């Protein structure tokens, strides 16, 4: 069924198709139709960051920025779902068009720009959800917040979502908020990570509940950059790292009509760089800090290689758009076979 639905959706502009697909999922879930077209993978439990995941394949942030569709997405068989990125204040994001398909490459370019309805809206949706699975909430800074004041936005985000999240992701790697990626390097990263840890400690003490915090990084850093990030994560005592976000490189899509579009490239072209970063992180971190692998998972093998490179969990997004819910089960089985005995 999904290839037929995808062909219909791909006749619409990408962002419109995205919204139509999610609203259709909501209807299918509420009417019970979703169960007729989806098959949940067999359990493949894994414990990471003290959390028991029913399976190691999650949905990456960005698909459901506001947690508007949490119940429907949660019914598809994911082992966990990450919503966001959410910023303290609502913001419209970048001007449209801001999303472009590259079907020949199983890829998407987006420059959405953290468009979201803000913390209050997302929290309201999370409070009213029926989905009972593991929920990650991805937080970022507002576009108008200067980098030197970004710590305040991240603290606000962590404090607001702490009681509702099973884990929290700090996004410092989107290419679509000017200057954001600068926070991944040097003293800026160290200062931010220590502030994040301080806010986590404060929330833990006040609420009596420990919520793991992970940092999402880009695929474009060199080996020295990867080693620096690994050392900074260990020094600050963060709980995990997501590798990776979208890439600004166009090497893999040269000659495509959308090659010159600004934004982050996701999907199959990110596969190799994501695995390189995961392997580099694992070489430095070992099993001390778990890695969540994301980027270019479009089939079973691309999920398995993330695990072989050192990831404990994986997430899908662009591959899910191209392949549909079947990719979840395929990825679970591949990861099951690839995990160390």
Per-residue pLDDT tens over the stretch 19-34? 999 999 999 999 988 8
Active centre residues (catalytic):
174
pTM of the model: 0.95
pLDDT in tens, 137-149: 999 999 999 888 8
Q: 73, 38 in Cβ contact below 8 A?
A: no
pLDDT level of residue 9 (50, 70, 90 thresholds):
very high
pLDDT level of residue 77 (50, 70, 90 thresholds):
very high
Question: What's the rounded Cα separation, in Å, for the pair 45 and 111?
Answer: 35
Percent pLDDT > 70 in the chain is 96
Pairing of strands 291-294, 264-267: unpaired
Question: What's the rounded Cα separation, in Å, for the pair 7 and 12?
Answer: 9
Chain centre to alpha carbon of residue 82: 6
pLDDT at 177 over 80: no
pLDDT level of residue 287 (50, 70, 90 thresholds):
very high
- What are the CA-CA distances from residue 151 to residues 127, 198, 280 (Å)? 26, 11, 27
Candidate CATH numbers 3.30.450.20, 2.40.50.100, 3.20.20.70, 3.40.50.2300; the one for domain 2-338: 3.20.20.70
Q: What is the DSSP-derived secondary structure letter of residue 166? A: S
For the chain, the domains span 2-338
- What are the CA-CA distances from residue 277 to residues 219, 246, 269, 315, 324 (Å)? 6, 12, 14, 15, 26
């Amino acid at each position: 069924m999904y290839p037929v639905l995808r062909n219909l959706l791909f006749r619409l502009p990408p962002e419109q198709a995205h919204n139509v697909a999610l609203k259709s999922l909501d209807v299918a879930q509420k009417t019970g139709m979703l169960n007729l077209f989806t098959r949940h993978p067999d359990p493949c439990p894994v414990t990471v960051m003290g959390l028991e995941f029913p399976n190691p394949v999650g949905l990456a942030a960005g698909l459901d920025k506001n947690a508007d569709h949490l119940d429907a997405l949660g019914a598809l068989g994911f082992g966990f779902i990450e919503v966001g990125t959410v910023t303290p204040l609502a913001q419209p994001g970048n001007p449209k068009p801001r999303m472009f398909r590259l079907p020949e490459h199983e890829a998407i370019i987006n420059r959405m720009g953290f468009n979201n309805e803000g913390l209050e809206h997302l929290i309201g949706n999370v409070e009213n959800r029926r989905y009972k699975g593991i929920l990650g909430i991805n937080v970022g800074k507002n576009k108008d917040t200067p980098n030197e004041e970004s710590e305040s936005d991240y603290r606000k985000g962590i404090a607001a979502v702490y009681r509702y999240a099973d884990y929290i992701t700090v996004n410092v790697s989107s290419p679509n908020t000017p200057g954001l990626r600068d926070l991944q390097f040097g003293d800026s990263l160290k200062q931010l990570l220590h502030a994040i840890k301080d806010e986590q400690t404060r929330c833990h003490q006040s609420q009596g509940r420990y919520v793991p915090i992970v940092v999402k990084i880009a695929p474009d850093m060199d080996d020295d950059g990867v080693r620096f990030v690994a050392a900074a994560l260990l020094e600050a005592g963060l709980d995990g790292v997501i590798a990776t976000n979208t890439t600004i490189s166009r090497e893999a899509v040269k000659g495509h009509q959308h090659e010159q579009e600004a934004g982050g490239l996701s999907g199959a072209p990110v596969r190799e760089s994501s695995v390189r970063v995961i392997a580099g992180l694992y070489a430095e971190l070992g099993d001390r800090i778990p890695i969540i692998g994301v980027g270019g998972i479009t089939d079973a093998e691309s999920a398995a290689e993330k695990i072989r490179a050192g990831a404990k969990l994986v997430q899908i997004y662009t591959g899910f758009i191209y392949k549909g819910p079947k990719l979840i089960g395929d990825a679970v089985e591949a990861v099951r076979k690839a995990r160390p005995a």
